[in-house]
Amino acid sequence: MPGSDAALPVLAYLRRKLTGTLRPEDRTHMRYPTPISELLGFHIVDVGEGTASVRVEVDAVLHGNQQGTVHGGFLVELADAAIGTAHSTLMRIGESFTSIDIRAAFLRPVWSGGLVATARPAHSGRTITHYVCDIVRADGKPVATVTSTVMTLRGESAAGR
C-alpha cells in the first residue's frame, strides 16, 4: 500500500508475516505478536479465514506442574492463543472480541517437545462463534481438545478493546 496509511486486514497482515513479505510500514488494527504470546514463546505457523495454528516448544522443567508434566493451564493458554488468532482474522476495523467460555479435555501428558494448537470454527454466527482447538504433540498424538465461545463486539462495545 505505497502512499497509504490504511491498516491491513488481520488475515492479510498475518499472511504477509508468515511468508516473510511484511513490510516495515505494514500494520493492522490488532496487536501482533501479542505480549502474552511473546512471553510464552508462541508462534503462529498457519492462518486462514477463521482458522489458525500456533506452535510452541515446551519442557516440563519450565512449563511443568506438580506431577512433572506440562501444566494444563499452559495448554489452555496455547489453545486460547490459537482461537484468538483464528477469530481475529474475521475482525474488521471497529470490531473486537472477547472469549465468553473455554473448556478443556486433557487426553495425554506432555513432558517436552513441540506442540501445535489448531483452531477452527465449529459454528459461526453473526455475533457468537464456537471454536474447537486440537493440541497435538510432535509425534502427532493429541494432547487436548479445547472448545471456546467467542463473542464479536461492535460499535461502543468494541471501543477501547
What confidence tens digit (pLDDT) does each residue in 24-59 have? 999 999 999 999 999 999 999 999 999 999 999 999
Q: What residue ranges in the chain does DSSP mark as E strands?
A: 43-48, 51-59, 95-106, 112-124, 128-137, 142-154
DSSP, residue by residue, 97-142: EEEEEEEEEE-S---EEEEEEEEEEEEE-SSEEEEEEEEEETTS-E
**CATH 3.40.50.80 for the 10-157 domain, yes or no:** no
Q: Where are the domains of the chain?
A: 10-157
Mean of per-residue pLDDT scores for the chain: 94
Higher pLDDT, 9 or 1: 9
Residue 147 three-state SS? strand
Is 80 exceeded by the pLDDT of residue 67? yes
